[in-house]
Amino acid sequence: MCAGCKGKQPPAPKYEDARPAPADVPAADAAIDAGVDAPSMSTTITPDGVGPLTAKHVDEEDYKELLVGFTVTSEHREGEDFKFDEYIASKGTTKVLRAVITENSVFKIEVLDPMFTTTAGVAVGMTVGDAAAKIAGLECVYEKYDAESDAERIDRALRCQSESLPNLMFDIDYDKFKGPLGKVSPKTIGKRKIVQIVWLAPHD
């Protein structure tokens, strides 16, 4: 379905960010000014889901009901070797979440805006260096893929993961990155920013 999303999903029992955030670590860029209309709605990204969304929410109506204050649109995408539905949750003109549904099952949810964060506050727009200070055991890798065999035509990825946050991947800006394929030290890319956080839905 998506070669660029075949990252490892470590089964470590540790549940969330293990390292406390230093007091002087700057927050990510401010989220959308309008905020979330329903204060009770969770905007936390965990191994179990994104905010109120989990693997059991597969219908567009679920997203419209749970994402209060958001505009949710959908589009069906189909090609010779792929077929999936795409849900986009937006605030005004800003895309915040993108969900991919395949065969009536949630494949992934992409977080595109810092409105949603992990428990420790890791968010889109934060640097790898700042994220590494908040997430224990962060490991990064640079990979290339066959775009023609990928439904979303992904040809490369620079991303980070941690066993302390199973099912989550942090996609990093790889513009002008010239490092070799394979493992990349977080310190090497410490100034690069997270461009999206991807939650891969777990399936037994």
- Please determine, for residue 109, whether its predicted confidence score (pLDDT) is greater than 90: yes
- Please determine, for residue 187, whether its predicted confidence score (pLDDT) is greater than 70: yes
- Please determine, for residue 23, whether its predicted confidence score (pLDDT) is greater than 50: no
Better pLDDT: 194 or 26: 194
- Please determine, for residue 35, whether its predicted confidence score (pLDDT) is greater than 90: no
Q: What is the pLDDT of residue 10?
A: 42
Amino acid, single-letter form, for residue 16: E
Confidence grade of residue 100 (pLDDT, cut at 50, 70, 90):
very high
Q: Enumerate domains of the chain plus CATH numbers.
A: 43-200 (2.60.460.10)
Q: What is the pLDDT of residue 34?
A: 44
Q: Are 46 and 195 in contact (CB under 8 A)?
A: no
Confidence grade of residue 181 (pLDDT, cut at 50, 70, 90):
very high
- Please determine, for residue 161, whether its predicted confidence score (pLDDT) is greater than 50: yes
Mean pLDDT of 147-162: 77
Q: Which residues of 121-139 are buried (b: 16+ CB within 10 A; e: fewer)?
A: bbbbebbbebbbbbbbebb
Q: What is the pLDDT of residue 164?
A: 94
- Please determine, for residue 68, whether its predicted confidence score (pLDDT) is greater than 80: yes
- Please determine, for residue 17, whether its predicted confidence score (pLDDT) is greater than 90: no
Confidence grade of residue 114 (pLDDT, cut at 50, 70, 90):
very high
Query: Residue 130 has which token pair?
Result: 């700042």
Question: How high is the mean pLDDT of the chain?
Answer: 83
Burial of 104 (0-12, 13-18, 19+ CB in 10 A): exposed
Distance CA(67)–CA(89), nearest Å, equals: 8
Q: What is the pLDDT of residue 8?
A: 42
Contacts of 39 (CB under 8 A, 6+ apart): none
Q: What is the pLDDT of residue 147?
A: 60
Give the pLDDT confidence of 75-99 residue by residue, as tens digits: 998 767 678 899 999 999 999 999 9
Q: Identify the CA nearest to 67 among candidates 46, 30, 98.
A: 98
Mean pLDDT of 151-161: 81
